[in-house]
Structure 1
Amino acid sequence: MTTHGSLQEAVSARRSSSSAGKSKGAEEKIVAEDITLTAAQLLVRCLENEGVEYIFGLPGEENIRLVDAMRDSTIRFIVVRHEQGASFMADIYGRVTGKAGVCISTLGPGAINLLLGTADAFTDSTPLVAISAQVGLNRIHKETHQVVDLLSMFKPVTKWAEMIVDSASVPEMVREAFEKAQTSRPGAVYLCVPEDIEAISGLAGLRPLARSDKADSMPGPAQITRAAQVLQEATKPIILAGHGAVRDYAGAALVRFSERLRIPIATTFMGKGIFPDDHPNSLGTIGFMQHDYVNFGFDEADVIICVGYDLQEFDPVRINPNADKKILHLHRYPAEIDAHYPVTASVEGNLSAALDGLAAIITPKEGLDAEDRKIRNLLREELEYGAHADVYPVKPQRLVSDIRAAMGDSDIALVDTGALKMWMARLYPTYHPNTCVISNGLATMAFAVPGAIGAKLAYPDRKVLAVTGDGSFLMNSQELETAIRERIPFVVLVWVDDAYGLIKWKMDLELGHHSFVDFGNPDLVKYAESFGARGYRVEAAADLLPTLKKALAEDVVSVVVCPVDYSENIRLTGKLGQLTQPI
């Protein structure tokens, strides 16, 4: 059990960091009063103890006591328009902060709607705690209204999924949920709260459990020695940094490692920004659906140093098609087994310590060669081509170039899934981690608009831009109302082509034609304005950058609508398909 003193320290820490603006008296009430509680009130106090500042969700008949218990708490409850939106808000909040985002719903259909964002967090290794109601234990055993087996639904897409069957276990189960979500490999967890458990009252003597700081796991000297031997013998090594390096805050160590050993580095889509794209050792981002410029760097390599790379980010066959390259696996946990990821040596533990330990005992390499420099130049030339493309509808390269010009280095762009993701992931220069947020585990559509709410709450001092296609935008555009009501300003940039552009691209590429991918749109400017947002339509390529700058400078919710010329898609894949070397 937590002592009054240790819990008071936790409350004091929350008071200094929370933006909820609750009164001192309300916070001290958590520990100062020795009163009886309902299970719902106890659950909320346990969430406060975990440092939860925001919860995203919807009220329902079966969770009204939990929602009501937040009225007198330090937690800001963000009422959303769809539970899927709540799950994406929690997902992205957890992604950019490293602290578990929390979303809640009622039972049945409400809980099912939480599944998509929960699964996205699970596959992207993002800490998230999903909480839903369930029917009472007195009727869960039989056919009854709104009963589905929620535990069985959530278990495949979470690290841990359990149901509270005893009110006395609330502190332990909440503590375990956050421990599972935030430690080792982060991910989503699920907690199910039956209606009759939530309603229990008269609880006394129960308190949130203290959080414990665990010692960091450091890499073993023998592992570093073995990896150093492999790397010392390499003639053409290359580094691949993935999302695990972002989660481990290994950016500074990656720069030191690359600079000292003079080894070029590429990142995955989800690793963008962990190594600055303007660094001379940067080769850009890998993960495009065809053999891209960056792939040539891996073609020539004999050793690939994978730092925080998760196989779900993209298939290792794309960088080691013949399974003949040596792999150094640097991560918090062992590698997945894959025929094209044959690990020669593994270093497990704190990634910064692993990188610094290796760098200290290895002789520097020769550095970037002419082929590596060609890769950098090709990407730069493609972006510069876009900056000067004045045709309308606007070319994707121009959209990427103008977004970069409008955004500060630390501002956050959330890039939805679709054709635009390929252009942004390949070309958008990124200088800090979690400033170009891409989903590539589940790679779900429609996370960017609700996700922007989570990102802005996490970093209110940064500009936040949701970059989305017209297909994705209308899937969760209702959350514009949430942002306006809650006064959470951000900008949405909609790339409009009246089609599911990525599928159209894929069909044209593989089938030579496309079908059933086109749709119509409402007037998206008027649509945005009907919510109370500001709407802008880009009428010429030259209007894009000033419109973006204007919208980003305003402290309101804005939607910028820009038609895009996706004929560049086939031109790009045709060009890449003809390349046999990066020239």
Structure 2
Amino acid sequence: MSSDDANSAAETEATETRTVAETLVACLEREGVEHVFGLPGEELEDLLFALRDSDVTFVPVRHEQGAAFMADVHGRLTGDAGVCLGTLGPGATNLLTGVADAQLDKAPLVALTGQGSLERVHKESHQMLNVPHVFEPVVKWNTTISDPQIVAESVRKAFKLAEAEKPGATHLEVPEDVAASETTVEPLPQRERVRLPDPDDRSVARAAVVLDEAKRPLVLAGNGTVRAEAANSLREFVEATGMPVVETYMGKSAISDEDEHSLLTLNSGDGATADAVARADAILAVGYDIAEHDPESWNPEKDKHVLHLDSEPAEVYEHYDPEVEIVADVERGLDALAEAAPDCAGDSDWYADAREAAISAATRRPDADDSFSVRGTVPHLRDAMADEDVLITDVGSHKMTLSKYFPTVEPNTFVVSNGLASMGIAVPGAVAADLAVPANVVAATGDGGFLMNGAELETARRLGCGFTVVLFCDDDYGLISEKQTDHRGESFGTYIDNPDFVKLGESFGLETYNPTDWNDLAAALDEAVPSDDLSLVVVDIPRDA
């Protein structure tokens, strides 16, 4: 072959054309995406067949909300953006709740939606909504791939922003005519994530002085501690300083509850933890987002010395007005503080009683003749789960109990929706968790949340997943009943009826248990949780338990 022929062949190879759909999927491959969770749609045809011919597995689900929750939990557990897919109109709006959940819980997620042809966008037509405008309030960034030449840049930007601290959701809309058009654009390389700055020495020194002068300093560990993989640094900081730690619900597992410095979570321990927080005169908030827990509840008089360590400056809030803000990589910030403020815990005995009471409350076992309750289930569930197993809790009264009293040991082993606090996350979340981590997975849910996305058990069975669903059934939207009763002495609009959950579980092909006493429950959990089978444990709880 002559040199001219070789150059011509190289040029032909360099300008090889693909459809935009094929290029987008090649970009997903470049980003390391293994699964796309979603529902098919007419406007997605080119994208679906491009996925079929790729190394990315498309997982058809039963509802787009389930797809978004799967992507959400994947992002929470791995730090890599989960990907969900829906068509235009109702497909896109069905994704919205799970996308918003990821945004408020700081989970990296990329949502993809189809759209009609560009020639339809300017006028009213079937299923046509301005989806980017609908998504705009609940994502970090979104755009329409309106030109074949921008597909690679758009995908790279969506992943970069979704995964950048603080992570969240992004969205790409793909019109069907653009998806079918051709381009020579190549995927952009995946780059190392932006490195957050080291803490500045002056802020660290000022924080160390505040901690050293405090009589009863305490660490408040939030979502960002776990998300930033700073749990080990927190544990070393606590060992160096002797300071106790209380966690937000999303910060659970930042410190092992077996550590003598752990006071479990805010409002746990039958009031003992809240009392300790009330007594603390200085609070070091690490990776704390106000959306997790209102600071007015733990700083009502605005009299505590508050220090802020996070990747972004603190939100402006009357009850959260830090004296010092260390804006840096959370892990390196903790390491710097550990060196600057050793042994600053004051009298360590000030929280010992609270620690003892909190652990006693969390490990208290029910009496043999006690009715079933979520609280009584906690020690049996903890016994059945290994330290590295992952518990995903849905939203409801059971979430509050598990968040307060379920002890955790290893980082990132407790998943809860707490920013948006959306019901229906547990079952689809368990599907994603089972695909993402080697440990056993348990989904804890109430009957209300279960029936919102319980159909994803079919998805789980089709994928060969093996996890356990613990279903607390009290025929009630219990958390709302509790709040109404507290306010008015009665409840209204909260009672519900349910199907036979045992038969429902069996119809999905699950190993199903319906224990009748505490020994039966313990045996069911001990058998189901370590098993590779998909299982359902139905725990019937009296409505007022």
What TM-score, normalized to structure 1? 0.89
- Match in the other structure for 1:482: 459
**Using a 3 Å threshold, how does the CA distance of structure 1 residues 173 and 102 change in structure 2: closer, same or farther?**
same
Q: How does 1:280-295 map to 2 (within 5 A)?
A: 280-286=260-266, 292-295=271-274
- Match in the other structure for 1:12: none
- Match in the other structure for 2:403: 425
- Match in the other structure for 2:172: 191
Deviations 1:439-472 (A, max 9, x none): 110011010000001111101x211110000111
Distance in structure 1 (CA, Å) of the matches to 2:543 and 2:285: 33
- Match in the other structure for 1:438: 416
Distance in structure 2 (CA, Å) of the matches to 1:496 and 1:246: 31
Deviations 1:55-89 (A, max 9, x none): 10011000011011011211111110110100000
Match of 1:521 among 477, 488, 498: 498
Distance in structure 2 (CA, Å) of the matches to 1:384 and 1:545: 15
Q: CA deviation at 1:550?
A: 1.3
> Structure 2 counterpart of 1:217, which letter?
P
What secondary structure does 1:312 align onto?
A: coil
User: In the alignment, does 2:518 pair up with 1:541?
Assistant: yes
User: In the alignment, does 2:189 pair up with 1:222?
Assistant: no
> Structure 2 counterpart of 1:221, which letter?
D
5+ long unaligned stretches in structure 1 = 1-31, 569-583
Task: Check the 8 A contact 1:79/1:482 in 2, yes or no.
Answer: yes
Deviations 1:375-402 (A, max 9, x none): 22222222343x2422353132221111
Q: How many residues align?
A: 532
- Mean Cα displacement is larger for which, 528-537 or 141-150? 528-537
Q: How does 1:117-128 map to 2 (within 5 A)?
A: 117-128=98-109
User: In the alignment, does 2:530 pair up with 1:553?
Assistant: yes
User: In the alignment, does 2:242 pair up with 1:278?
Assistant: no
Task: Check the 8 A contact 2:64/2:95 in 1, yes or no.
Answer: yes
- Match in the other structure for 1:152: 133
Task: Check the 8 A contact 2:216/2:347 in 1, yes or no.
Answer: no
Match of 1:364 among 336, 343, 350: 343
Deviations 1:180-232 (A, max 9, x none): 1000210001111111111113x22x111112223342111122122222222
**Using a 3 Å threshold, how does the CA distance of structure 1 residues 283 and 537 change in structure 2: closer, same or farther?**
same
Distance in structure 2 (CA, Å) of the matches to 1:503 and 1:391: 27
- Match in the other structure for 2:359: 380
What secondary structure does 1:209 align onto?
A: coil
- Mean Cα displacement is larger for which, 328-337 or 209-218? 209-218
- Match in the other structure for 2:334: 355
Q: CA deviation at 1:291?
A: 8.5
**Using a 3 Å threshold, how does the CA distance of structure 1 residues 118 and 366 change in structure 2: closer, same or farther?**
closer
- Match in the other structure for 1:319: 298
Q: CA deviation at 1:565?
A: 4.2
Task: Check the 8 A contact 1:261/1:367 in 2, yes or no.
Answer: no
**Using a 3 Å threshold, how does the CA distance of structure 1 residues 210 and 287 change in structure 2: closer, same or farther?**
farther
- Match in the other structure for 2:7: none
Distance in structure 2 (CA, Å) of the matches to 1:398 and 1:368: 34
- Match in the other structure for 2:322: 343
User: In the alignment, does 2:394 pair up with 1:416?
Assistant: yes
**Using a 3 Å threshold, how does the CA distance of structure 1 residues 366 and 141 change in structure 2: closer, same or farther?**
closer
Distance in structure 1 (CA, Å) of the matches to 2:352 and 2:526: 32
Task: Check the 8 A contact 2:38/2:59 in 1, yes or no.
Answer: yes
**Using a 3 Å threshold, how does the CA distance of structure 1 residues 376 and 231 change in structure 2: closer, same or farther?**
closer
> RMSD value over aligned CA atoms?
1.6
Distance in structure 1 (CA, Å) of the matches to 2:216 and 2:436: 41
Task: Check the 8 A contact 2:107/2:169 in 1, yes or no.
Answer: yes
User: In the alignment, does 2:398 pair up with 1:401?
Assistant: no
5+ long unaligned stretches in structure 2 = 1-12
> Structure 2 counterpart of 1:531, which letter?
F
Q: CA deviation at 1:542?
A: 1.3
- Match in the other structure for 2:8: none
Distance in structure 2 (CA, Å) of the matches to 1:163 and 1:389: 59
- Mean Cα displacement is larger for which, 430-439 or 54-63? 430-439
What secondary structure does 1:294 align onto?
A: helix
Deviations 1:544-583 (A, max 9, x none): 1110121223322111101124645xxxxxxxxxxxxxxx
User: In the alignment, does 2:23 pair up with 1:46?
Assistant: no
What TM-score, normalized to structure 2? 0.95
What secondary structure does 2:499 align onto?
A: coil
Q: CA deviation at 1:432?
A: 1.6
- Match in the other structure for 2:147: 166
Task: Check the 8 A contact 2:391/2:415 in 1, yes or no.
Answer: yes
What secondary structure does 1:360 align onto?
A: helix
> Structure 1 counterpart of 2:277, which letter?
F
- Match in the other structure for 1:458: 436
What secondary structure does 2:114 align onto?
A: strand
User: In the alignment, does 2:239 pair up with 1:262?
Assistant: no
Distance in structure 1 (CA, Å) of the matches to 2:416 and 2:195: 31
Task: Check the 8 A contact 2:217/2:346 in 1, yes or no.
Answer: no
User: In the alignment, does 2:146 pair up with 1:177?
Assistant: no
User: In the alignment, does 2:488 pair up with 1:511?
Assistant: yes
Distance in structure 2 (CA, Å) of the matches to 1:143 and 1:406: 56
Distance in structure 2 (CA, Å) of the matches to 1:566 and 1:94: 35
- Match in the other structure for 1:301: 280
> Structure 2 counterpart of 1:320, which letter?
N
Distance in structure 2 (CA, Å) of the matches to 1:195 and 1:327: 52
What secondary structure does 1:515 align onto?
A: coil
Distance in structure 1 (CA, Å) of the matches to 2:340 and 2:457: 53
Distance in structure 2 (CA, Å) of the matches to 1:154 and 1:215: 28
Distance in structure 2 (CA, Å) of the matches to 1:512 and 1:302: 36
Deviations 1:285-306 (A, max 9, x none): 0156x99321111211111000
**Using a 3 Å threshold, how does the CA distance of structure 1 residues 374 and 565 change in structure 2: closer, same or farther?**
farther
Task: Check the 8 A contact 1:118/1:188 in 2, yes or no.
Answer: yes
Task: Check the 8 A contact 1:219/1:354 in 2, yes or no.
Answer: yes
Distance in structure 1 (CA, Å) of the matches to 2:515 and 2:347: 41
> Structure 1 counterpart of 2:352, which letter?
R
**Using a 3 Å threshold, how does the CA distance of structure 1 residues 361 and 392 change in structure 2: closer, same or farther?**
closer
Task: Check the 8 A contact 2:38/2:67 in 1, yes or no.
Answer: yes
